[in-house]
Structures are given as C-alpha cells and as structure tokens.
Structure 1
Amino acid sequence: MAEQKRRSVAHSAEAAALGFYYQAFFALLTLMAQETDNAAVGIEQLDDVDLKADGHNLLYQLKHSISNTPPLITLKSTALWKTVRVWVDILPALTLSETTLHLVTVAKLGPDSPLIVLTKNGSDRSELVDAMSREAQRVVDARAAAGKAGKQLPYADRIEGCTAFLALAETDRLNLLRRTVIRDGSPTVATIEENVSEHLKLLPPEQRPTVARRLVEWWDRQIVYSLCGKRNRVISRAELQHQISEIVSDIEHDKLVPEFEVASPPEDYQPDGMLARQVKLVGGKRSDLSKAIREEWKAREQRAKWLSASSAMAAKINDYDLVLTEHWSDRHDQMVEECSGLDDHGKRKSGLNILRWTHEEAPGAVRPIATGWNAAYYVRGSYQVLAIDLKVGWHADYVKLLGGTE
C-alpha cells in the first residue's frame, strides 16, 4: 500500500513538472508563430500563457496530460470548468473586446460535443451557453440534494467553475464564450523540440535540429529568470529573433558556447571523492572545496554536452587537457624543487597556492579552448577533472600520498 502511494505521489509530481514545462515551451511556440514585430509573451501572469500582439491580448489556459489516451473534453470535464473559474475570476482585469481566451489541451473533444463551436471562429455560441448553463445547474442541484440527504457532496472539482458561470448574467456568459477558443489535440511536451524545428523553415534543414535544441535551452533559462525576477516577465519576438540569429552565427563560425556559466550543480550532486581528497591534502578551506566542486561539475557537464553534439570534440578536449597539464606541470615542478626541504606544513601551504592558482590566475594565463571562448569555469573545472584522475595535483607528493604510481 505504501509503495502504491509512493508511486502515486511520484506520478503526480512528474505530471506537474511536465505541465509547467509545457506552459513554458507552448509560450515559445506561440511567439515563434507570430508575424508582428511587437509581439511579446509571458507565463503565469493573468493566465498560464499571455501573448500581446498589435494591441490584442491572447490568454491561454493549458491542459497537459502524460497519458497516451487522455480523457475526451466534454461538458462534464473538470478541465473545462476549472478553466471557466479562472476566466471568470480575471474578467474584471480584462477588456474583453481586446482579448481572446484559449483553452489548449492535448486531449480531443468528444464526438458531437456542443463545445465544437469553440473551434470555429465566428460561430454562434448561444446554444452552447444554454448547454453549459444546464450542466452547471445540474452540478449545483446535485450537490444541494446530496447535502440535504446527508451524503458526501459530489463534483468538488467542478463546483467552483459551475457556480462562477451561473453567477454571470446571461449576456455576460455569451460574451465570454464569444471570446473563447478551444484548441484540442495540441502536441505534448515530448514533441516540443521537433515542433520548434518545424518553425525554422528559413534555415537549412541540417541546422534546424541544433538551433531548436539550443533555442529550447535558452528559452528554459529565460523563463526561470523571469519567474525569479532576474529579467523582465515578458519575452519579445525581437529578442527571440535575435537569439535565433546568434545561434545560427555560432554554428556557422563553429563557435563553442559556454552553456553552464550561470548554471549550478544540483543540490544532491556528489563529485568523485578524489576531488575532496586532493583539496584536503593541501589544507584547503571550505570555500576552496565548494569552488572546486562547482567548477568541476560545470566543466564535466560542458564536456558531456560537447561530446553528445559531436564526437569530433573528443580530440579537441583531449588536446586542451594536455595544454592545461603542461601549464600546471611547469608550476608544480618548480614548487616541488623549492619545497624539497620543507616540512609537511610548508608543502601543504605551497600546494594550496597551486590549487588557488587554478581558480584565480589560470583562466587568464592559459589560452582559451577556442577562439572567442571567455568563460573561466572550463579551465577551473577541467583542472578538477584532471585532479580526480590524478593527472594533476596540488601537494608536492600527491601521487604517492593518494595512492597513484610514479
């Protein structure tokens, strides 16, 4: 029973996470589809996704599902009535004549559903108003009857939407539905990158997957920054177009991009124990260790990213490791000579200077891995990667003390 509950909680968390990503990347697809230069999009403002274009507001309420066969959208659907409640709540903040309300769902509409009129621009919504009013009243009456009979109240997931809809005057119900559109059968989050690629028709076919992948990664960061207050809440089409141009330029010039400069390792990240042993051997402080762990993670992730994109990067990474090792060797060999007569305290102090050199001076002393590269984390972190393999070290006798071979 406990295992079943754990799986249920994990499934719920997974669905919620994918639902949020769906919001973010649906916003990207929506902005890419715009043709007007003044279009801009944001998420989690008035609605899941808000688009402004040519003085018009388009609000999107999104209903994602990780099910292969999500239930059909009907007049009885929880998704419909939860959406109605959200829209009724924000009506006072809207100029309805300048707003279009979209319910976007990966599910399909039920066959012969009266909701089909919401998929057709300009269609008559009066019969749908009557149908929704009857359904809302049925839910309210059923709860009232259950309450009088002392039974458990049904429809807890729909009642707020139903009562909100009935609280509107009939003309307001009709006006709300006149501004409403349903888009069913929307693509799922799993196909977002492929869908982004399809919008890049002006690019050569061989560039589209790479541009789409990097664009999605950039967009993901921008959405997080917007929610954290690190940037404006909305992202403009001009900004999106500029980023596409930047990515294309990088590809055409074979430019390496620092993708982890502002990233942080996950809280549960556990580096190889050799990293900490190397730092401890020279008496490194907590700050030395935390910097080493952070930069090692960044460099390791960057290496993996480059290699997944191109196996040819293996030679470039290896050659640069040799460059880093040579710079380290020049300093380490000199240190070994100078501290040959020192006690362990003196050797530890000298070794700590070498470790701190990799963080403070090496990024400026060693040439970058590629022209135009200026992110210090790759040099700093690569030294930690090499230290884990005992190809470099900080203490004069690190090989012997850490179990390596001369």
Structure 2
Amino acid sequence: MNIPLKASKYSAPGQYLGYALQPLRLCYHLLDCPAGAYVSMEHSEDVAVHYPDGFQLLEQDKSALKQNPISDWADDLWKSIAHWIRGIRAGEIDPASTTFRIYVTPAHEGELAAAISAATTLEEVQEVTAQVRAKISKRRRPPSCQADVQEFLDASDGERFGLISHLEIDSRDNDPLVALQSVLALAVPEKLMERVCRYLLGNAKDRADRLIREGRPAVISGDEFKRNLHSFMQSNNLPGYLRSLSGPPEPAQVGAVISTRPTFIRQLELIQAKDEQFVRAASDFLRTSADKALWAEAGDIFEGELDGWDDDLVRRHEFIRGEIADTHADSNAEARGRLTYNRCGAVQASLAGREVPGHFIHGSFNALADNFRVGWHPDYKELLSDDGE
C-alpha cells in the first residue's frame, strides 16, 4: 500500500476527540472501501481511503449544525481548497491519483461550491475561477477567507485544474448515520442495526485512538474491519451470549476514577492491592456500568434480571469469604482479603442463563463493593465507616 508514513502537516492528531463526525466517516469508509484498501483518520486528511492501486481519497469533514461551511465565502470551504492547493504545489499530493472530497452534514448549498464541484474540464475550471474573481471584486469589504481565496486565485492553471477537476462536495446527508446504515442494510437485520452501528463506531474509534496514543498512523485495514463485523454478527446471533456493547474506557477516565477514591477503590486500598489491580478494577467498573445501560436500552436485559444477578454474586462472595476464613485463618487480614478478591474475580456466572464477558463479572463485584454489599477485608465495614469519607 502506498500510505505516507509521515502525517500530513494539514491533519491534526488529537483534535478529532471532540468531533463525532470523523469516527463515523472512518467507520463508513472502512465498510464501503474495496478489498485491499486501508482507511486512515487524522493522518493524510480528516479521513482518507488508500486504495491498493496507489490512488487515494482525501476527505475533509464539516459539521454544519450552526453555519453553512460551503457558502460562497465560508472560511471552511476556502481553507480546504487553499491547503490542498499548497499540498499540490509542494509535491505532497499528486492530483492525478487523488480524489478530493468535502463532506458536509446536514445538507447545505452554496453557489460557488456547486460550480466548483461540477467543474471537470479545463474550460469549466477557468470559468469557475473567473466567477470567483468577479464575485469577490464586487464586495465592499474582503471576506475573512480572503487570504485563502487569493491562494486559489494565485495558483497556476495546472494546480487549479488538478484540484478542482478531482474535487467533489458532498452535502446530501442530513443525518450521516443514515449513510452508514445504508452500507449495512443488506447484511444487518433492522432489529440489530442500532446495536451493530454502536459496536462498529466504538470499534473504529478505539482502534484509531490506540494507534494515535502509540504514536503510530491511525491506518486501519478495511478487510480486517469487515471480518470483525462478520464475527460480531455471528456472536449476536447466538442467543446464549450477551456481547459487550461498550469499548474499553480511556486511560484518562480510568485514572480519574482511581484519583477520586470511590468506595470500591478504598476497598482495594484496605487489602493493599497491586497498582494493576486498581487499573483493571476501575476499567471493568466503568465498562460494566456502560454495558448495563446499553443492554437495558437495547432490550437485552431487564431490571429484575440485574437484581437477581447481584443477589447471586453476593451469595457467592459470602461462600468464598467463609471458606477462606476457615482455610486461611493463620493469614493476616490483608492476605485473606486479597484471596477473597481474586477468587471472586475468577467466578464463572451467567446472567439469566446467558454467558457474559469476563469484565462484566469482575466489574459487577466492584460495583457491589462500591455499595458495601460485598467487601474484601474481613473488617471492611468497620474500617470504612470509621474513616470519615
């Protein structure tokens, strides 16, 4: 694959975290791209598709909830055009093997944007350029995008033609999720559509996040992503298994939970747990809470089933705690607490007759510890009630 190893100076790793549109478009392209293609986010462009024949699609994504990013003098429109012109001039982008796309949602219109998107011949590009010159010359004041417009006007005929003849402005979707669902429609039953979309969006974003955190390009194989969809569909067609609908929480979220010292973390402090046990406990606690809400929302579980689940785990905890008190009476309280915690974490249990992910059992025990329904240290109730927190 002809994928640049160095990120484009125009892309902005880290800024995507506040933009839900880019992970959605990443997911869309991973499903829509042909065999052998790769899709990147915040590397060559907001989102880019790298085809096996060396061609590429560079896409800039514009959320238009508050303003029209393709109006005649919109900063977003001309900023995109100017930076692609600079990329072509610098030799960083070969327009002959590139499709440029500005994706806008919800749908908007712009006179110049429509003309730019429709121009494919040298004559049409020259007509659009003349139209831009004429319209901007009639303004009493220069627009805020004047510098970017001038970059376009000062470009050579070849640079302008290379860009505009390969540029498309896509502003048809009022809801970008509909485009994603249309790609999935033939493979995913309607009753599973929301769940599958939720899983795929989380999976795509988690992969990109992890690669960026590792300092690597966020480039993902479309073939591998489609195989994951196939596996997910197979597992969701098994009535005896509840598949997690949540992704692993961000390290910052886990750290924030540990630093606030909720009750389940203080319970681990009492038994002098290892650092990695704090991290796993907080991570599984957050993911379990998310899965409970998502399963309930999807109609996979009901409130009464969770009550029975919690009661079952409390009973198992009491059996384990009593056994360790009898068999390890010579061990100190902290050691007995660690044994109880580890044995509970290894419990195998089903929720209303259905198998659950491993993190859900461990996270549920920590949720019960957070509510004082279970504890690890033999004297956890007295110690925690006396610490004044």
TM bin, normalised by shorter chain, reads: 0.7 to 0.9
Question: Which residue of the partner structure matches residue 229 of structure 1?
Answer: 214
Amino acid at match of 2:219: V
Does 2:252 correspond to 1:253?
no
Q: 209, 228, 240: which one pairs with 2:194?
A: 209
- Equivalent of residue 84 in structure 1, options 75, 81, 100: 81
Distance 1:303 1:133 in 2: 58
SS in 2 for 1:235: strand
Aligned ranges 1:266-277 → 2 under 5 Å? 267-269=255-257, 273-277=262-266
Structure 1 runs not aligned, ≥5 long: 1-15, 143-153
Q: Of 115, 136, 159, which aligns to 1:172?
A: 159
Distance 1:327 1:115, change over 3 A: closer
1:130-166 CA distances to partner (integer Å, 9 max, x unpaired)?
2234567789x97xxxxxxxxxxx65x4244234223
CA distance in 1, matches of 2:215, 2:166: 34
Residue of structure 2 in register with 1:331 after alignment = 320
Q: Distance in 1 between matches of 2:249 and 2:18?
A: 23
Letter in 2 for 1:229: E
Find out whether 1:309 has 2:272 as its counterpart: no
Unmatched 5+ stretches in structure 2: 1-14
Comparing 307-316 with 37-46, greater Cα deviation is found at: 307-316
Match for 1:45: what amino acid?
A: H
Superposed CA RMSD = 3.7
Contact 1:260 1:298 in 2 (8 A): yes
| Partner residue in 2 for 1:45 | 43
Which residue in 2 is equivalent to 1:353?
335
- Displacement, 1:248? 0.9
The residue type equivalent to 2:167 in the other structure is T
Counterpart in the other structure of 1:66: 65
- Taking only the aligned residue pairs, the percentage that are identical comes to 18
TM-score normalised according to structure 1 size = 0.74
CA change 1:100–1:25 in 2 (3 A) is same
> In the alignment, which residue of structure 2 is the partner of 1:198?
182
TM-superposed CA distance for 1:100, in Å, is 1.5
Distance 1:290 1:309 in 2: 28
Is structure 2 residue 368 aligned with structure 1 residue 382? no
Quick one: structure 1 residues 294 and 233, their matched pair in 2 at CA, closer, same or farther if it must change by over 3 Å? closer
**Deviations 1:281-328 (Å, cap 9, x if unpaired)?**
556677765654444333333333333323535455444434433332
- Structure 2 CA distance for partners of 1:31 and 1:273, relative to 1, 3 Å: closer
Q: Does 1:395 align with 2:377?
A: yes
- Kindly provide the amino acid, as one letter, of the partner of residue 43 in structure 2: Q
Return the offset for 1:220. Answer: 1.7
Q: Deviation of residue 335 (structure 1)?
A: 4.9
The code of the aligned residue for 1:46 comes to S
Partners of 1:335 and 1:396 within 8 A in 2: no
Q: How many residues align?
A: 360
Paired letter, 1:28: C
Code of the aligned partner of 2:203 = W
Q: Residue 50 of structure 1: CA displacement?
A: 1.2
Q: Does the aligned pair in 2 maintain the 1:38–1:238 contact within 8 Å?
A: yes
Deviations 1:343-374 (A, max 9, x none): xxx7xx32x23432355343335456677656
CA distance in 2, matches of 1:120, 1:210: 38
The one-letter code sitting in structure 1 at the alignment partner of 2:32 is: A
Alignment TM-score, normalising by the size of structure 2: 0.77
**Distance change >3 Å, CA 357–CA 192, structure 1 → 2:** farther
CA distance in 2, matches of 1:288, 1:72: 48
